[in-house]
Structure 1
């Protein structure tokens, strides 16, 4: 009698037997069998910029460029955009050069309509024809009631674990339940953001911030551009960024605030276009360019604005960028006192350190003159955020403000989790100030996100109360108990960064270093260079730390970024866009959607 269940079972067994025989045969013959294997994509001979699957705001300007690397010089490059010749489609003539690396380029173009776009490139040489197709998207998604303002907070390197450390220290935990959440955690929408760049699994701050500013991928060290093959760091194909867009289309005010050098990667990516983030003198002078000149600039880094003859300057010329800003009507603040005295002018430049501003612990807790030097009156991130909002909100057309908690990243590179955590708390306090403003007005979207992660994780607690030191003083599971951070004045910052029971924070990607959970009174690098190789810094050794062998190349003396996804929280008009797992370029598209921007329009 026919039995369907027995027949299916027999077929299943036969299939498994067949697969086993195929695998055995292939192993004997030296053939490797792979099932659903992933292989890295081959680098195409035809490089089309913007890249495949790029997404554009309608009317957003960009440079369209093609590089064709062929064995024989190209004779012709034919480019079709949705079936039309590119020159006809864009209404501009291309600049074409033929060689073994042939190029085709049309600058300052845009897609005038929403929808799908297909670009087909055909390169003809003596040896034959090569062809490549890429696809773009110009979404038509609109918001019913747009936001008037957007405040983007970027906690540089602020992974999920960095938020958690800040929550533990700032809010406390009782019997396993947190006493409260951070301001950035009490927001309506949550998403996970992927962070990889165009050229690498693990990103740096320049191209990750550039993704937020342009909606396009870039490469390590680049911002506002697609990296081409030339050596010139200023000729790469550009993509219009958020500051340029809101100024051009809406006449909005704009601002950048950072605890880092203000020409550093994250603030610079909001406005600059260069293949090399290290071109900070160029970035400083580009801030004067009316196309993307912010109305408020607050942070560190005066060394890139001061003439070469001034002590501490890093410029190679005698340009005084500060004086040039004065000529444009910008009041200047160089310390916290002057920032308070500035009031609410229409625009403002504040530079409070030669380089990066000192971190919160050194500025506000230890106040060690050996660390601060002559910069003893630096504002907090809260001070700068409040001032920026007060100045920018005077514009009835709205504003875009980027605020960076920069040294979360810089202190995690130094494997100094205490300083990183206090700076995370400082940024959270700044988020609270923004939320208060938004609550009163109801027309502001606030986004809090990191640009990338770090491989730091909480293992348990650490204490030496029973005489144990080093790794034996790391308490795990039931032995961990709770850290003993205290906050007597209730300001959210622990009174002492080095209590008798602290967190045990350990790193996944690091150089040789001496692991020590104790707070360092003076910032100390985990490793130093000796004969071209990173070795553990002996200045950390006397504190009783165990030597840990590095797991990254010995050419790098600091901890490095990780490829982990990072959390994003948002609140306000347009926050509904942020949910699930999203590419980092989607942050830009959430911003322009919330503002209801249309790149085809020009301000009136």
Structure 2
């Protein structure tokens, strides 16, 4: 019986059914089109097209057209109908494209016993080339690097004289800039996977997803895909690709440049997917070795016995695990550098404090400047050019931990890597587009300054307006990194969206999470105002971490202003600044959507995605 009505639906897909009158009070079948309405495409870029019909009462026919032409004829491929066994029928065709620029309207209608329901999606397809084209592109992503995060770095790195900054950050001296909006198509406030995916594909997605449009199935790997930047530049021009980060190399932002999944947490899958020829990066550097080693090895976070490191070696990659090995690696071979099982340590702990309790045995992790240097040495060997994404990952991670000092020193390190890339570009023909942007913002803001010179402590010592005397950070060797992250007058940084935590406004000598999680009973959770749905008899809530409550320190217990089930500071929906220089950088001005970063890159390179490298 199922096969009979499915076959009938397939046969009638391209036949306009008569419009039944909708029965009052009865909902007609729901029709959803993927990609979503208002999407923008690069001509020739590949994508999967899907129409989902749900809640149908005796489905009679489905009609799908593009600019009034039957979809199968438009794409030159049949749409395949599939019962997803969740009340949804999918009509899908994979790996198609819009070969020409223009405006396109998709209309999909479903007719059942309750009537006919119609959905429309309007698409814009572009093919633009900059007057002066770039050979290479370096996309610097300061994860979570809001305007305030930049300002913190500028204040303590460059200093001020009578209210004027002594200098700007390297990124801030670029000639072109704009504001970037960051929302996904599912929510106002985004995460790194979704926002980085917009940079990599030119398409919006949903929280936790990259390179896909979310369908109605539970499988995180079957969602309709959109071709990403690594795939396009390799397929159409044979360019090299580099993915450099201080996070795990399969974390959200780096993985979004290469991978496709609805669930960013599937990092072992992403490590395996990196091996695929059509998008395999020529340089991969970061942490996260635990995602690459077989589950039989100690410390593995894989769910199988695949040895991804060995498979990269078999493909000719140099494999390194320390800064010394990285710097000695040959420039004429691809490189896989994995410097820690998880996220790499931050600048303060790695370069300054060097506490063995924090670093463990990983005492020779490279800095971001040298990672940038080595990656450019390798990638520039390709005469066809390269695309590199270089991430300052722990700006975000340390703001989540409400440790603005560690986040700020990492912002300064990130800026030093940008400065190196700018000098490299000048020495290599000025033919590289350099973009600096954050994927999203954090709600951390500078209230003023903090000091205890008059005996006041805690919130009473937060100085505002005329009392906010200038901070006393010192940089004796003039390397841009203050010698002491906790001077007698420091910044008063406070947070717009945070869990309950202990605040003493002083630097934490060891990285310390702001909260701990506890299981509580349903009754206890209700008493503390938890609004989650309860599973069985208990739930997990976040409480202020007593490890941040040091004897003798001025400590304030700051109540949560977000749900008690969230254990760290959250992203903000604020716009983020973008700076750019080099060929094609004139594209960036005013206020732009995050998807426009992708189109600015494609325009600068003059990519023709309708081409395939022979």
When normalised by structure 2's length, the TM-score is 0.90
Corresponding position: 1:521 with 2:495: no
Unaligned runs of 5+ in 1: 1-41
Tell me, in whole angstroms, the C-alpha distance in 1 between the residues paired with 2:501 and 2:280.
42
Deviations 1:449-494 (A, max 9, x none): 0000000000111111221110111111111110000111111111
**Which moved further from structure 2: 487-496 or 237-246?**
487-496
Secondary structure, in 3 states, of the residue corresponding to 1:340? Answer: helix
Secondary structure, in 3 states, of the residue corresponding to 2:32? Answer: strand
Corresponding position: 1:540 with 2:527: no
Secondary structure, in 3 states, of the residue corresponding to 2:586? Answer: helix
User: Out of 164, 182, 188, which is 1:195 matched to?
Assistant: 182
RMSD over aligned CA atoms reads 1.3
Corresponding position: 1:179 with 2:166: yes
Corresponding position: 1:59 with 2:69: no
The offset of 1:189, in angstroms, is 0.7
Tell me, in whole angstroms, the C-alpha distance in 2 between the residues paired with 1:336 and 1:433.
17
Secondary structure, in 3 states, of the residue corresponding to 1:105? Answer: strand
The offset of 1:592, in angstroms, is 0.5
Does the CA-based 8 Å contact 1:82-1:117 persist in structure 2? yes
Tell me, in whole angstroms, the C-alpha distance in 1 between the residues paired with 2:197 and 2:555.
38
The offset of 1:577, in angstroms, is 0.7
Question: Aligned residue for 2:270?
Answer: 283
Question: Aligned residue for 1:332?
Answer: 319
Question: Aligned residue for 1:467?
Answer: 455
Tell me, in whole angstroms, the C-alpha distance in 1 between the residues paired with 2:473 and 2:60.
71
Secondary structure, in 3 states, of the residue corresponding to 1:412? Answer: helix
Distance 1:341 1:107, change over 3 A: same
Tell me, in whole angstroms, the C-alpha distance in 2 between the residues paired with 1:153 and 1:590.
14
Question: Aligned residue for 2:566?
Answer: 556
Corresponding position: 1:72 with 2:72: no
Tell me, in whole angstroms, the C-alpha distance in 2 between the residues paired with 1:592 and 1:353.
34
Question: Aligned residue for 1:222?
Answer: 209
**Which moved further from structure 2: 142-151 or 176-185?**
142-151
Tell me, in whole angstroms, the C-alpha distance in 2 between the residues paired with 1:420 and 1:77.
53
The 5-angstrom pairing of residues 205-244 of structure 1 reads 205-244=192-231
The offset of 1:517, in angstroms, is 1.4
Deviations 1:153-190 (A, max 9, x none): 00000000000000011111111100000011000111
Question: Aligned residue for 1:45?
Answer: 30
User: Out of 375, 380, 398, which is 1:388 matched to?
Assistant: 375
Tell me, in whole angstroms, the C-alpha distance in 2 between the residues paired with 1:194 and 1:373.
39
The offset of 1:511, in angstroms, is 0.4
User: Out of 396, 410, 428, which is 1:423 matched to?
Assistant: 410
- How many aligned positions are there? 563
Secondary structure, in 3 states, of the residue corresponding to 2:260? Answer: coil
Tell me, in whole angstroms, the C-alpha distance in 1 between the residues paired with 2:101 and 2:139.
26
Does the CA-based 8 Å contact 2:146-2:440 persist in structure 1? yes
Does the CA-based 8 Å contact 2:137-2:387 persist in structure 1? yes
Tell me, in whole angstroms, the C-alpha distance in 1 between the residues paired with 2:170 and 2:389.
17
Does the CA-based 8 Å contact 1:77-1:104 persist in structure 2? no
Secondary structure, in 3 states, of the residue corresponding to 1:59? Answer: coil
The offset of 1:364, in angstroms, is 0.2
Tell me, in whole angstroms, the C-alpha distance in 2 between the residues paired with 1:131 and 1:538.
56
Tell me, in whole angstroms, the C-alpha distance in 1 between the residues paired with 2:181 and 2:331.
38
Moved over 2 A (4+): 42-45, 97-100
User: Out of 287, 290, 299, which is 1:300 matched to?
Assistant: 287
Tell me, in whole angstroms, the C-alpha distance in 2 between the residues paired with 1:455 and 1:315.
34
Question: Aligned residue for 2:8?
Answer: none
Secondary structure, in 3 states, of the residue corresponding to 2:41? Answer: coil
User: Out of 391, 401, 410, which is 1:414 matched to?
Assistant: 401
User: Out of 122, 126, 129, which is 1:139 matched to?
Assistant: 126
Deviations 1:406-463 (A, max 9, x none): 0000000000000000000010000011101111221000000000000000011111
Does the CA-based 8 Å contact 1:74-1:102 persist in structure 2? no
Question: Aligned residue for 2:67?
Answer: 82
Distance 1:105 1:183, change over 3 A: same
Does the CA-based 8 Å contact 2:28-2:116 persist in structure 1? no
Corresponding position: 1:590 with 2:600: yes
Does the CA-based 8 Å contact 2:29-2:55 persist in structure 1? no
Secondary structure, in 3 states, of the residue corresponding to 1:119? Answer: strand
Corresponding position: 1:363 with 2:371: no
Tell me, in whole angstroms, the C-alpha distance in 1 between the residues paired with 2:28 and 2:95.
26
Does the CA-based 8 Å contact 2:29-2:56 persist in structure 1? no
Question: Aligned residue for 1:490?
Answer: 478
The 5-angstrom pairing of residues 21-40 of structure 1 reads none
Secondary structure, in 3 states, of the residue corresponding to 1:557? Answer: coil
Secondary structure, in 3 states, of the residue corresponding to 1:74? Answer: coil
Tell me, in whole angstroms, the C-alpha distance in 2 between the residues paired with 1:74 and 1:597.
43
Question: Aligned residue for 1:318?
Answer: 305
Does the CA-based 8 Å contact 1:515-1:545 persist in structure 2? yes
Tell me, in whole angstroms, the C-alpha distance in 1 between the residues paired with 2:483 and 2:28.
54
Tell me, in whole angstroms, the C-alpha distance in 2 between the residues paired with 1:331 and 1:346.
7
The offset of 1:43, in angstroms, is 13
When normalised by structure 1's length, the TM-score is 0.92
Secondary structure, in 3 states, of the residue corresponding to 2:40? Answer: coil
The offset of 1:73, in angstroms, is 4.0
Question: Aligned residue for 1:453?
Answer: 441
Does the CA-based 8 Å contact 2:141-2:391 persist in structure 1? yes
Secondary structure, in 3 states, of the residue corresponding to 1:56? Answer: strand
Question: Aligned residue for 1:476?
Answer: 464
Does the CA-based 8 Å contact 1:73-1:102 persist in structure 2? no
Tell me, in whole angstroms, the C-alpha distance in 1 between the residues paired with 2:338 and 2:332.
16
Unaligned runs of 5+ in 2: 1-26, 520-539
Question: Aligned residue for 1:106?
Answer: 93
The offset of 1:527, in angstroms, is 1.1
